[in-house]
Structure 1
């Protein structure tokens, strides 16, 4: 699934939602619909002002409130409409949802340990990471495919979903996806379209991309 569009110079900005109370408490959110905190709203407003400078052509977001409300801040400063899609939701984590990492380790010790070892695990009976990529990546590629040459798409989603989508669009094997570090609340990653498909240009960024000056541009 590397590539997927025919134009040149398109960009995909994958933007994680702002802070929630469950983020602070280190509770697994998954598909639970949690609101942004006041800090999360402020994060979204700050980031939106920066991302608006990229002059995005379209915004697509998870339909969960924390992503939708983050996207709304960018819509306010750009005048763009937000399209929401349930396929961009966070990984469904079944019985783990609502529990802290410590609670999960206590109740689901071997399953939690296997996940930490990088094994494919249905956390709490939920989704595999590959299944998340199966639902999310096609939506991202579909919206990217509607961009003009040189256009920018902003995808507002969740840390796990963003990581799996990046892995899929880069053509990486699923066991390597964990090599992509997590995203801080309201930070983003940028994929750029080149002659050989999508490339990771920025990861977990909180400032605007700068040109790559050197031999590997």
Structure 2
């Protein structure tokens, strides 16, 4: 290991989860059969990479995605609560007519006002602090961090200093790489690498729709990789 090398954070979005029913409230779904296969393909693609540590969000879809990689590399999975996804309130809110606002509409409303959302600003600071702590704890190492669309977007936005937090379309088990030097500013090297997945619609990212809800994917696999 080069002691002067930056820490490499491999930010991995979890594999495809089961769809949560509208009346279930906050859920922690397992992976679908497709999601399990996505996790296996990701683990196979990274098996020869010099990963020495694996972190995960405590949510089941992230831990289950991390497990095939951990098994291949014979490494433990360390969960951190500060890697959990942002609570978007996507179960809907009562309207004036008493109906529940659809998830897609709640998401669109939240996204339209993201620059002025204090909860989202706090989430962004929390994620940046978590990634900084991980990098400091593992200098010059290659670290896999299995988490969520919101977490990855928040950290990439914090590193790049963009006003909007949610910008990138991230495919399930896509990999985004950030280099964190001991001194100086982190650098985003890639966003949404998905070459390990077949170029099929059902392997694609969730676009700019609600994160982590098992919604139908709309982007092409690998779309947005190395995007600015």
| Fold shared, TM-score > 0.5 on shorter chain | yes
Q: Do structure 1's residue 45 and structure 2's residue 40 form an aligned pair?
A: yes
Task: Write the distance in 2 (CA, Å) between the matches of 1:70 and 1:113.
Answer: 28
Q: Do structure 1's residue 75 and structure 2's residue 63 form an aligned pair?
A: no
TM-score of the two chains, using structure 1 as the length reference: 0.73
Structure number with higher helix proportion: 1
Flag structure 2 segments of 5+ consecutive residues without an equivalent: 94-100, 197-228
- Aligned residues of 1:48 and 1:77 also touching (Cα < 8 A): yes
Q: Do the aligned partners of residues 176 and 66 (structure 1) sit closer, same or farther apart at CA in structure 2, a change above 3 Å counting?
A: same
**1:83-130 alpha-carbon deviations (Å, 9 max, x no partner):** 001111111123x2389xx82356x5xxx55434343466xxxx8322
Which structure carries more relative contact order (alpha carbon 8 Å, separation 6+)?
1
Task: Write the distance in 1 (CA, Å) between the matches of 2:139 and 2:172.
Answer: 29
The corresponding residue for 1:185 is 172
- Aligned residues of 2:114 and 2:164 also touching (Cα < 8 A): no
Task: Write the distance in 2 (CA, Å) between the matches of 1:21 and 1:129.
Answer: 25
Q: Do structure 1's residue 97 and structure 2's residue 116 form an aligned pair?
A: no
Q: Do the aligned partners of residues 30 and 197 (structure 1) sit closer, same or farther apart at CA in structure 2, a change above 3 Å counting?
A: farther
Flag structure 1 segments of 5+ consecutive residues without an equivalent: 1-5, 209-217
**Count, aligned residues:** 185
Task: Write the distance in 2 (CA, Å) between the matches of 1:187 and 1:16.
Answer: 6
**Equivalent residue runs for 1:167-182 within 5 Å:** 167-168=157-158, 170-173=159-162, 175-178=163-166, 180-182=167-169
Task: Write the distance in 2 (CA, Å) between the matches of 1:32 and 1:120.
Answer: 27
Q: Do the aligned partners of residues 182 and 68 (structure 1) sit closer, same or farther apart at CA in structure 2, a change above 3 Å counting?
A: same
- Aligned residues of 2:13 and 2:146 also touching (Cα < 8 A): yes
Q: Do the aligned partners of residues 46 and 145 (structure 1) sit closer, same or farther apart at CA in structure 2, a change above 3 Å counting?
A: same
- Aligned residues of 1:63 and 1:84 also touching (Cα < 8 A): yes
Which of 136, 140, 143 is the aligned partner of 1:145? 136
Which of 103, 112, 115 is the aligned partner of 2:110? 115
TM-score of the two chains, using structure 2 as the length reference: 0.70
